[in-house]
Amino acid sequence: MRGRRFTADGKAGLLLLSFSLVYLILALRIPASSFASADVGPKGFPLGIGLALATAATALVVRGQREPGADPLPAIAVDDEELPPADPLKFGVVVLLLLVYILTFTALGYVLATFLFIAGTTTFLDRRRLLRNLLFGLGFPLVVYAVFTRLLGITLPAGLLG
């Protein structure tokens, strides 16, 4: 368990290192300022951030290769950020459903797209409560649409139903 976490850190470090290198290369390609008076041009900050990020990522890689258990940090047992382990299939489908929702958001309109997303997702995750899922899927967008467009004056795409 501990061993795996350390290599995960190492991998994250490698990923971050490559990100920082791309970021740095793009920073170098930022056109220079046309203002001669500026002492720090538009490149300055990105270059600094990129270098610092590359350094930190390298440190992460180095630390990630160390023997498991060598970490001197006694993890205080407050892992607020810890997420419950996910089922890869469910995760994939949920993410896919969200993507479909986003892609259909304006075409279908808020109410229809949201109904499909909520009813679809809840039914995929819990088939036994079909009626509850459908009612929730219907109620949520209708209430939101009414409150947002009528009370708050925020326009939402009407789409097919408009």
Q: What residues between 65 and 104 interact with another protein by CB under 8 A? A: 72-87, 90-91, 94-95, 98-99, 101-102
157: alpha, beta or left, given left = phi > 0 and alpha = psi -120 to 50?
A: beta
How far is the C-alpha of 55 from the C-alpha of 52, rounded, in Å? 5
The neighbour count for residue 129, using CB atoms within 10 Å, is 13
Q: Which of residues 9-48 bind another protein (CB under 8 A)?
A: 9, 12, 16, 23, 26-27, 30-31, 33-35, 37-42, 44-46
Among 2, 3, 7, 8, contact with another protein (rule: CB under 8 A): 8
Please answer whether residues 38 and 5 qualify as being in contact, where contact means their C-beta atoms are separated by less than 8 angstroms: no
DSSP code of 41? -
Q: Which of residues 102-121 bind another protein (CB under 8 A)?
A: 102, 105-106, 110, 114, 117-118, 121
Asked if 156 is part of the footprint of another protein (rule: CB under 8 A), the reply reads yes
Asked if 63 is part of the footprint of another protein (rule: CB under 8 A), the reply reads yes
